[in-house]
Structure 1
Amino acid sequence: MSDVLSIASLFPERLNIHGDAENADVLRVRAQWRGVEARVTTVTSAQDASGLRPDAITIGAGFDADAPEVLAGLRAIEGELKAWVDSGAVLLAVGLGWEMLSRSLEFRGADPLSGIGIFTGRSVASERHVGRISVDSEWGALTGYEYHLRDYVLGEGELPLGSVSSGTGNAATVHDGAARAEGAVRGTAYGTGIRGPVLARNPVFADHVLELAVAHAGLAPASTVPDARLTTADDHAAKANVIVRRALGLSA
């Protein structure tokens, strides 16, 4: 057992078109602000993954044109990825990264590609959806930006991240009988289309992910004593989210 929180960032140079690879650094910095030493390791090959025992794994969004090549890279570390998640490491997957870790993903006019299968749902070709989004979740209102060409159909054992109050989310999936769902949760694996990056925009959710990672590492719980930098970052996020929700016609 290490006394350092280990965070694996998958293919950040290819999957960062909306800053989503920075979710790894959000976890690292928030951990350090709470007195927990943390280290981010970039994983782009089987060699990078060999011997690594991460407590948190992040993967971001990229361009569809890069999907076949990046998916081949993910297949090269498929065994390690599944072992990490099965061990209880927390996974945050955004956009195309989430879709490639699902059971399958479709591109318009082409046959579906088999995904890694950490998520049991599937990504199906849809219309382009772009714009601000707000999602009601157990961590409060999650806000950010959505940009996707695919819908997501929840699979066995999956729950949505939350219900869409404004935006599109997983248009094919309703939640609580009426509202559209957004994202997918399966154990300690979280998939979402919210970009921004989502953890910087939504600190309560970020701290939930961090707590799961700290518990996996077997470290002492992160300090709840406010650090001035943490308080400032959270205040900025709160103000940004108020602006988004007001722009969407929602209560702040």
Structure 2
Amino acid sequence: MNLTLRLAHLYPEHMNVYGDRGNVIALRQRCQRRGIALEIVPVNPGDTIDWQTVDLAFFGGGQDSGQALITGDLIERQGPGLRAAIEADLVVLAICGGYQLLGHYFLTHTGERLPGLGVLDVHTIAGKQRMIGNIVIEVHLGAEPWQLVGFENHSGRTFHGPGVKSLGRVLVGYGDNGQDRKGGVIYRNTFGCYLHGALLPKNPQLTDHLIELALRRRYGSQYVLPPLPAERELAAQRAMVQRLLTR
């Protein structure tokens, strides 16, 4: 059986900081090693895309200025189709600025209120202190809990509403707002968080989880992703978690 997935990379020229493009590379590589064809479609301002044909979407982080440039296009051009696809369980990974723009709004340092897509029940308010450093989040996405590792660098403080559940509990670092130890959110098959670095190369478990969700959505809920070795990635992940938890 020839397996094919289609990934939409939202605004790659405007929303690509701190190595976020590496997430797309990790998805492509772990698909390729299993013989799964991954078509990557960049979505830039002014582009038209049929969201019903998309299996995965990635929305990276960007500066406030970059977010301001693409907000109108996101809401007016892509909004209806993307929102409907998310409600139909499109698999989405959104990091930092992309995560913020899927929420209700982002209130910037200058007091400008940038509207978001409103598909995630979160809102973001810029703070005076930047929250920078390595981060570890304990997540429960399988039979056993495990730790995501990444690097956060944000001044926005994101607060969760009742319409989302937390991706995980922050063990090291600030998390979404530096107050409640919540790190990221999950809504249907959409995952949003502040973990840069890039996230997926450091966390092959999450990479495979996203791929499997996308394949099940396209080919049926009984699909099981074949295992793939990741000894080096997991050894690096364990070493980082141990160092951060014991420092």
Shift of 1:122: 0.4
Alignment gaps of 5+ in structure 2: none
Separation in structure 2 between the aligned mates of residue 156 and residue 134 of structure 1, nearest angstrom: 24
Equivalent position of 1:169 in the other structure: 175
Q: Which residue of 1 aligns with 2:121?
A: 120
Q: Distance in 2 between matches of 1:218 and 1:191?
A: 24
- AA aligned to 2:235 is K
Note the alpha carbon deviations across 1:128-158, whole angstroms, 9 max, x for none. Answer: 0011001111141000100001111002321
Larger deviation: 142-151 or 46-55? 46-55
DSSP-derived class of the 2:98 partner: helix
Task: State the superposition RMSD in angstroms.
Answer: 2.1
1:222, distance to aligned residue in structure 2 (A): 5.5
**Cα distance between partner residues in 2 of 1:105 and 1:28:** 31
The counterpart of 2:137, out of the listed 135, 140, 148, is 135
Distance 2:46 2:23 in 1: 22
Residue 83 of structure 2 corresponds to: 82
Offset at residue 30 of structure 1 (A): 1.2
Distance in 1, matches of 2:63 and 2:111, equals: 16
Report whether the alignment pairs 1:145 with 2:133. Answer: no
Instruction: Kindly provide the amino acid, as one letter, of the partner of residue 235 in structure 1.
Output: E
Aligned-partner SS, 1:160: strand
The letter for the 1-side match of 2:137 is: V
Matches within 5 A, 1:184-203: 184-203=185-204
Q: How far apart are the structure 1 equivalents of 2:103 and 2:179?
A: 15
Q: CA offset at residue 42 of structure 1?
A: 0.7
Q: Given the two structures, how large is their TM-score scaled by the length of structure 1?
A: 0.87
Looking at structure 1, the residues matched to 188 and 149 of structure 2 have their Cα atoms a distance apart, in angstroms, of: 22
Aligned amino acid, residue 169 of structure 1:
G
Return the letter of the residue paired with 1:135: I
- Corresponding position: 1:237 with 2:233: yes
Q: Is the 8 A contact 2:71 2:115 kept in 1?
A: no
SS at match of 2:32: helix
What corresponds to 2:62 in structure 1?
Answer: 62
* Cα 1:106/1:35, change in 2 over 3 Å: same
Structure 2 residue 107 is the aligned partner of structure 1 residue 111 = no
Residues 21 and 59 in structure 1, CA contact (< 8 A), matched pair in contact too: no
Alpha carbons of 1:54 and 1:134: their partners in 2 closer, same or farther (altered >3 Å)? same
Aligned length: 239
Offset at residue 218 of structure 1 (A): 1.6
Match of 1:177 in 2: none
Deviation at 1:123, TM superposition (A): 0.9
Cα displacement (A) at 1:39: 0.9
Letter matched to residue 130 of structure 2: R
Distance 2:137 2:231 in 1: 19
SS of corresponding position for 1:98? helix
Q: Is the 8 A contact 2:51 2:81 kept in 1?
A: no
Q: Deviating runs (4+, > 6 A) in structure 1? A: none
Q: Tell me, in whole angstroms, the C-alpha distance in 2 between the residues paired with 1:214 and 1:92.
A: 15
Residues 1:247 and 2:243 are matched in the alignment:
yes
Deviates more, 1:24-33 or 1:77-86: 24-33
In structure 2, do the counterparts of structure 1 residues 238 and 195 end up closer, same or farther at CA, with 3 Å as the change threshold? Answer: same
After superposition, give the CA deviation of every residue in 1:72-110 in whole Å (9 maximum; x if it has no partner): 221221111112112211111001011011111111131
In the alignment, does 2:12 pair up with 1:12?
yes
User: How far off its partner does 1:29 sit?
Assistant: 2.0
CA apart distance, 1:46: 4.7
Provide the rounded CA distance (Å) in 2 between the counterparts of 1:4 and 1:242. 32
CA distance in 2, matches of 1:156, 1:49: 31
Q: Secondary structure at the match of 1:30?
A: helix
1:210 deviates by 0.9
The letter for the 2-side match of 1:239 is A
Superposed displacement of residue 170, structure 1 = 1.8
SS in 1 for 2:197: coil
AA partner of residue 167 (structure 1): G
